[in-house]
Amino acid sequence: MLFLFGFSFSVKCQIEIPGTNLTIEMVKARKIGVLSVQFAGSYNVLSGKDNKRVQVRLKVRSRDGDLTIFDPNKLSLLSDQFNARFSVSEVLFASFFQTRGFQMLTTNDTEKPVFAKYDSSVPNTFNNYTFEGYKDCSIDLNFGTNRKPIIHTIYFRPQNIDKNVLDVYFVVPNELTTGKLYFGDTLISEIDIR
């Protein structure tokens, strides 16, 4: 007798980040619907009608189990379709209520929003990595009016972590369906956005 067994499995691997004590595994990526309810603490970056929010869930671990600094500003989503590199809009520890996240910082020292702090000692490391032929798209929010704009580029304070699941959010064009997730210049995963 001949038995045929069909196996279906997906390969998920932890990517070691060169020069750090970190490994990162991409768990899933999905579009966040308009009606999704999230308890994101004190802020929630909305996407507007021409864009959508994308959630990427990551397992981040230190290789030796000790606390290790994790800088979420080094994460970016690259789109070949738009020749663009998108920065993170929100970073939260994955839990039922998602009330704890990374502290939001701003590059603008004037008229700061209440949920973002200005700290010149913490650089925005998103700007340290560029990909030739790709436009860098940081999160620039206008806290003024169209006639008197007050633009703030937001980024996040790095934190010590040892073994955490993080929900990372990006604001991207509605038409974007695939991309590549990078940490610095290290490819973490290619993603399909459902």
Contacts of 113 (CB under 8 A, 6+ apart): 106, 141, 143, 152
Stated pTM of the model = 0.84
Contact 150, 108 (CB under 8 A): yes
- DSSP secondary structure letters along 121-186: TS--GGGG---TT-EEE-EEEE-S-SSS--EEEEEE--EEESEEEEEEEEEEETT--EEEEEETTE
pLDDT in tens, 80-104: 999 999 999 999 998 766 567 899 9
Quickly count: other Cβ atoms within 10 Å of residue 128's Cβ: 12
SS3 at position 105: strand
- DSSP secondary structure letters along 36-101: -----TT------SSEEEEEEEEEEEETTSS-EEE-GGGEEEEETTTTEEEEEEEEEE-SSS---B
pLDDT in tens, 128-174: 999 999 999 999 888 778 898 888 899 999 999 999 999 999 999 99
pLDDT in tens, 104-136: 998 888 776 667 888 999 999 999 999 999 999
